[in-house]
Structures are given as C-alpha cells and as structure tokens.
C-alpha cells in the first residue's frame, strides 16, 4: 500500500472531518429485526419504526414444552451440506431417526457457537466444527444456515400477520455477539449473515451486554422482579454499574456509566469467559459418569440418542428451578435405557454403582428417578458461579475509588435462583437487579439498538490495532536486516505495525481513530491493507509475538473518470465492529472498502 506521496504506510498531515455521518450509513426501513444467536437458545424479535417498543417475538413449541427462544441446534442431511431443521424441530427429527437407529449418518449440531470463542486457530471459510457424534462439518455453512432459517422464519411470521407484505429489503437487521469475542469471530458472524442472504448495508452487529443495558434503561420496559434497591431505569446521571450478561456459553461483564438522555459510556472493556450455564450441563455428565462408575454418558449418547436428548431436556428444567434456599433436594426422572448401559459397561446395576460411589450419601435411586441432595446439585453450579463472582469482585476492587453500588444481571443463566443468591450473598451492600424478562433483554435490546445506535457513546479498545505497512527505515527501531534491498520498496522496511489505536483507549463511536491518505503503487489501481491486533502497547512488526491478523480490505482508487486517485481512508474502532470508509480525492466518491476474514 502506498501513501499519497508514494511513501507506503505514511499518513498526510491533512485532517479531514473525523465525525461520521450516521444518518447515511443505515438506510431507512419499515422496522428493525434482531437475531439473538445464543449458545443454548436463539430467537428473533421485530418492531416497526413508528412503534419501536412494541415487540413482535415468537413462542417456540415442542409438544407441551414451549419457550421464548428455541434451542440452538440444527440437523443436516447425510451429505453434510443440506439443512434439514432447526431448534425443537431438529431435536425431534433427530430423536425420531435415533429411535430407528437411522441417525448415525446425519449431522446434529448443538451449542456450536462456543466454537468461535474457543477456537485457537484463525477462523475462516474452511473452519470446521464437530456434530454431537464427532463428525466434522463446515462451520460457515452451519452458522449461515441457522441465520438464514431465523431470517426466513421472521419474514414468514411477519407476512402471515401483515396483509400488506414486508420485504427483507425493508428491514434493518441486528445480529448479537458476545462482547468478549475477538474481531475475527465477529467478522465470521458478519460473513455468515451475508451468506445467509442479509444485505450487508442493512446489517449491524450488536454487543450483547450493551443492548441488554439499553433495554434495562427503558423504564417502560424493564420491570425488575428481583431488586434490593432502585431499578436500573431510575439510576441518576453519572451512576456506574456492573452489567453481568450470563448466557448459555459465555459470560460478559462490563462497567457502564449513565449519561444524559440515558446514553451509555463503556468504562471497562468487557471481560468474562466460558462460564455460562452449559458448563453446568458438562459437570452434570461428568458426575453421572462418576456416579455410575464408567463412561456411561458417552455410551448412552452413542446407543440411545433419543433418550440422551430427553434426559438433557429434563435436566434443563431442573436446572432452571433449582434453589437450595427453598428446597433440600432435587428429583430427576431418568429413562430405563440408562440402566442397560450401566449394566453393560460395569457388570452391575445402577443401584449398586450408586451405593458404591463417592456420592452414595447424596444420591438415591427411587424407581426410575434420581433424588439428589441440594449439595450435589450445588456442586454442579460451583465452578461457573465462582468464576462469575470472582470476576465481579475483581472489577469492584478495581473501581473502588468510585464505588459501584449496582449489579445488573441479564441473560438466561441470570434467571437461575442459585446464581442470583450467590451474587447477592457475595455483595450484601450492593443493589442486585434482575429484569423481569432477563432472558429476553438481549433480544429486545438489540431491536432498540437498531432503532437508535447513539445510545452507546464510547467503548474501550480491547486490543492495540494497526495496519501492516512499509515505512522508512529507522535505525533506532528497525534491525538493519529488515531493510528491503531492491525493487520499489528499496530502503524501506516491510511488515511494520502502523498503530492506529491503543489497547484500553476510550473510543468515541462517531469518530475515526485511524485516518490517512493512501494510493496504490505505480502501475496499480487498488491497494490491499491488512488489519492486525495485539495486546502489546508498542508493537513494531505485525510478525511480533502476540500479533494476529483480524482481516483485510481492498480499496479501488480508480475514479469515475478512469484516473488513479489518492484515497482518504477512515477507520472506526469505536463501534461494535471495525468499519472502513474510503473517499477518492479527485471526485469525492465514497468507495466501498469491504472488511473481510483472512483466507
């Protein structure tokens, strides 16, 4: 990439307007739709532009069961490419196949969103994940198929209620992502949405804890059913609060400050980890294995998939209702198929195994039910709950100079009485607020965000960001061996980290953080720039330890008259995702600079 004076990687001293014209960014629309793509449950919501707080949502049914969001699972045909079903339909169809032992060639994926958080490799179009039996399947195809299903289902539902008909091009779309995700994972979701058929000009990504806070700050919407003090909607100007978004897979924790007009300023960059309620499921399976004396759950899943899924559904209900403050035991109905698995694996019946296990005093077999002492179930919650409370404590201590007196809990896991009581016990002098529909705060808040993005004023940079560039040699910085010896870059240094943003920097959402004038090398009409990130505050090269590429963009500098122009490049890091704007000097044309995943 070359600069306007043919010196690659350098910026001009001109300072174009840093403010961004948000009115021109997202087209006007009849309404806003949100897709809350969760680890364990997903759903959609919609509201019209002329009545943004009147939400249209869907209730998902499976026999006598129903929920405000559907299980995040999908079924694909044996070719590993053809989408078959989503949610409860996917579960039921897979159960039906399993009952006939016809399921083994099909692909059933569940809780796969965590693959984006846990992946140590760079995500791309060819990344793979595993279905419940360990068969590999393309990640991009899975994510885009689920987004497309939710997208199409929303349109179908709206058009069944609206005789005038609504086209997808008349809707602005918001897709939610965890705040602790890196840019690569966010960009992966954006590409998946594009593959699903959503117009990129009408798509926004929204950070889950932020949109939950937007929902909670609206006094007409968020009525708290658990609060030891004031509601979040009544918090005065300047109040700082901790927001804990505890979902199925990840937990996002951040600090916000309430500004004029109920706007929000991020004070602390989001932190957290894989402490969601799905970790309780994992602990449950491990303890059942210990209880039965072998790898029972793995064998149970392999031989009796239908009964395995039914057991997990029943445990989900137990998990939601469990409260050690009001009950000293919990009962779980189990299928008789598990008796056969235990007998085959161990040579003993389940009752014998329980009586000879470390938990013989905490668990009893009562016909086809397991009766657990409250202490046994509490142990399942112990790991993730401790991680959440410890992180809340860390942030409380960090901000002790200006004490935080409010904790707002949203997300499905926040509805757990066990987690609520643990947080209240750990912080007795703090007002713990749980909105009435905490599980829908993200879904509905994302719709409100789509109607008014200016509710979030600034964010904290999670990384140091910069672009790879070729700059003049500086003997005080660069090793002599890095100097290019020949060609158009002779005397310069390649692969330098040109810093645009510092980690921890407060970034106004409406201002460009990286700006400069660039042009292609002689004989070329475009340039390609790669964006890198690191936790290092003073990186020198993009190849330094800890640096990683999060994507790239190409800028075409040929204007409408066929001339090669300088381009004024603006980069915005204060939004929910990195945005790039390029304007040609000669004609003032704004050029699309699409930010894409690394190959």
Q: For 478-503, what is the mean pLDDT?
A: 78
Select 235-274+383-454's CATH number: 3.40.50.300, 3.30.420.40, 3.40.50.620, 3.40.50.1010. 3.30.420.40
Least confident of 102-116, 253-267, 472-486: 472-486
What pLDDT is attached to residue 407? 95
* Contact criterion met (CB below 8 Å) for 554 and 599: no
* HSE-up of residue 493 (Cα within 13 Å, Cβ side): 20
**Nearby residues of 127 by Cβ (< 8 Å), 6 or more positions away:** 115, 119, 121, 138, 139, 140, 188
* pLDDT of 351 over the 50 cut: yes
Q: Is 440 exposed, middle or buried (0-12, 13-18, 19+ CB in 10 A)?
A: buried
Residue in the structure block whose two tokens are 């699903």: 196
Per-residue pLDDT tens digits for 161-199: 865 678 888 999 999 999 888 888 888 999 999 999 999
Q: Name 246's bridge partners.
A: 251
pLDDT tens digits along 501-522: 999 999 988 888 767 777 787 7
Whole-number Å distance between alpha carbons of 252 and 462: 13
Distances 118 to 112, 162, 249, 250 between C-alpha atoms, Å: 10, 41, 10, 10
Residues in the chain, total: 599
pLDDT over 50 (residue 481):
yes
Structure tokens, 316: 């989900």
Average pLDDT along the chain: 86
Give the span between the Cα atoms of 81 and 99, in whole angstroms: 23
Question: Averaged over 554-578, what is the pLDDT?
Answer: 86
Maximum alpha-carbon separation in the chain: 85
Question: Is pLDDT larger for residue 437 or for residue 585?
Answer: 585
Spatial CB neighbours of 569, under 8 Å, sequence gap ≥ 6: 514, 515, 516, 517, 518, 529, 555, 580, 581, 582, 593
Per-residue confidence (pLDDT) for residue 8, from 0 to 100: 34
pLDDT at 162: 66
For the structural domain made of 31-206, what CATH number should be given?
A: 3.30.420.40
Percent residues over pLDDT 90 in the chain: 52
- Classify 566 as helix, strand or coil: coil
Residues 6+ apart with CB under 8 A from 98: 304, 305, 306, 309
Is the pTM for the entire model greater than 0.75?
Answer: yes
Nearest CA to 531 out of 569, 487, 561 is that of 569
Instruction: Give mean pLDDT, residues 549-567.
Output: 88
Burial class (CB in 10 A: 0-12, 13-18, 19+), 228: middle
User: How much is the pLDDT for 21?
Assistant: 45
pLDDT at 493: 86
Instruction: Please give the Cα distance from 209 to 460 (Å, whole number).
Output: 14
Phi, psi dihedrals of residue 318, rounded to the nearest 5° = -60, -40
Higher-confidence residue: 131 or 495?
Answer: 131
Whether 11 shows a pLDDT value over 50: the answer reads no
Angle at 493 between CA 490 and CA 495, to 5 degrees: 130
The contacts of residue 222 (CB under 8 Å, 6+ apart) are 215, 216, 231, 232, 233, 435, 436, 441
More confident residue, 10 or 528: 528
Q: Where are the domains of the chain?
A: 2-20+464-502+510-591, 31-206, 235-274+383-454, 278-379
**Torsional class of 451: left (φ above 0), alpha (ψ -120 to 50), beta (otherwise):** alpha
pLDDT in tens, 527-536: 888 889 999 9
Give CA–CA dist 99/457, Å, rounded: 53
Specify the pLDDT at position 581: 85
DSSP letter for each residue of 168-222: GGGEEEEEEE-TTS-HHHHHHHHHHHHHTT--GGGEEEEEHHHHHHHHHT-TTT-
Residue 362 banded pLDDT, cuts 50, 70, 90: very high
Query: Residue holding tokens 């990683």?
Result: 548
Q: Are 209 and 179 in contact (CB under 8 A)?
A: yes
Q: Report the pLDDT value the prediction gives residue 20, as an integer from 0 to 100.
A: 44
**Percent helix / strand / coil, the chain, rounded to 5:** 30, 30, 35
Q: For residue 205, which phi and psi values (nearest 5 degrees)? A: -95, 145
pLDDT of residue 22: 42
Q: What is the pLDDT of residues 286-295, one digit of tens each?
A: 989 998 888 8
Q: Do residues 426 and 386 lie in contact, with contact meaning Cβ atoms separated by under 8 Å?
A: no
* Tokens linked to 398: 């960090």
CB-based burial label for 361 (10 Å; 0-12, 13-18, 19+): exposed
Reported as a pLDDT band with limits 50, 70 and 90, residue 405 is very high
Q: What is the distance between the alpha carbons of residues 87 and 77, in angstroms, rounded to a whole number?
A: 15
The whole-angstrom separation of Cα 59 and Cα 70 is 8
pLDDT at 486: 60
**Residues 318, 329: Cα–Cα separation, whole Å:** 11
């Amino acid at each position: 990439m070359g600069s306007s004076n043919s010196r690659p990687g350098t910026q001009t001293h001109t300072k174009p307007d840093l403010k961004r014209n948000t009115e021109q960014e997202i087209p006007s629309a009849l309404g806003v739709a949100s897709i809350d793509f969760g680890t364990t449950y997903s759903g959609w919501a919609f509201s019209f532009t002329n009545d943004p707080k009147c939400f249209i949502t869907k209730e998902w049914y499976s026999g006598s069961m129903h929920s405000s969001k559907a299980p995040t699972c999908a079924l694909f045909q044996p070719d590993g490419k053809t989408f078959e079903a989503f949610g409860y339909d996917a579960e039921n169809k897979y159960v039906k196949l399993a009952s006939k032992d016809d399921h083994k060639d099909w692909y059933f994926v569940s809780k796969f969103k965590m693959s984006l958080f846990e992946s140590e490799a760079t995500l791309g179009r060819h990344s793979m994940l595993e279905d419940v039996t360990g068969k590999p399947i393309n990640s991009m195809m899975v994510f885009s198929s689920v987004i497309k299903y939710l997208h199409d289902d929303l349109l179908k539902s709206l058009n069944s209620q609206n005789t005038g008909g609504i086209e997808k091009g008349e809707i602005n779309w918001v897709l939610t992502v965890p705040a602790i995700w890196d840019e690569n994972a966010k960009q992966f979701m954006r590409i998946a949405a594009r593959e699903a058929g959503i117009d990129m000009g009408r798509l926004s990504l929204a950070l889950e804890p932020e949109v939950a806070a937007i929902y909670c700050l609206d006094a007409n919407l968020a009525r708290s059913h658990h609060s030891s003090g004031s509601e979040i909607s009544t918090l005065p100007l300047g109040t700082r609060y901790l927001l804990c978004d505890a979902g199925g897979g990840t937990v996002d924790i951040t600090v916000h400050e309430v500004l004029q007009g109920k706007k929000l300023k991020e004070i602390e960059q989001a932190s957290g980890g894989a402490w969601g309620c799905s970790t309780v499921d994992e602990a449950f399976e491990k303890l059942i294995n210990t209880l039965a004396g072998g790898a029972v759950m793995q064998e149970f899943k392999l031989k009796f998939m239908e009964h395995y899924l039914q057991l997990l559904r029943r445990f989900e209900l137990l998990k939601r209702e469990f409260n050690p403050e009001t009950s000293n035991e919990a009962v779980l109905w189990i299928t008789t198929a598990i008796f056969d698995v235990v007998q085959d694996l161990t040579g003993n019946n389940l009752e014998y195994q329980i009586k000879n296990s470390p938990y013989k005093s905490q668990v009893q077999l009562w016909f086809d039910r397991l009766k657990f002492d409250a202490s046994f179930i509490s142990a399942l919650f112990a790991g993730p709950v401790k991680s959440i409370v410890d992180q809340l404590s860390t942030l409380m201590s960090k901000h002790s100079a200006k004490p935080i007196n409010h904790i707002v809990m949203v997300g499905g896991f926040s509805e757990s009485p066990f987690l609520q009581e643990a947080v209240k016990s750990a912080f007795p002098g703090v007002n713990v607020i749980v909105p009435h529909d905490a599980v829908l705060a993200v879904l509905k808040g994302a719709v409100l965000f789509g109607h008014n993005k200016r509710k979030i004023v600034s964010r904290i940079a999670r990384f140091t960001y910069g672009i790879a560039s070729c700059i003049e040699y500086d003997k005080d910085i660069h090793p002599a061996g890095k100097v290019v010896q020949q060609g158009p870059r002779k005397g310069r240094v390649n692969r330098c980290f040109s810093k645009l943003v510092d980690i921890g920097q407060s970034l106004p959402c409406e201002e460009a953080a990286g700006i400069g004038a660039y042009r292609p090398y002689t004989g070329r009409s475009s340039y390609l720039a790669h964006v890198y990130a690191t936790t290092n505050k003073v990186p020198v090269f993009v190849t330094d330890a800890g640096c990683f590429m999060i994507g790239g963009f190409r800028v075409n500098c040929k204007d409408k008259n066929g001339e090669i122009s300088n381009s004024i490049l603006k980069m915005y890091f204060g939004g929910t995702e990195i945005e790039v704007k390029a304007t040609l000097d000669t004609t003032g044309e704004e050029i699309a600079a699409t930010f894409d995943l690394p190959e």
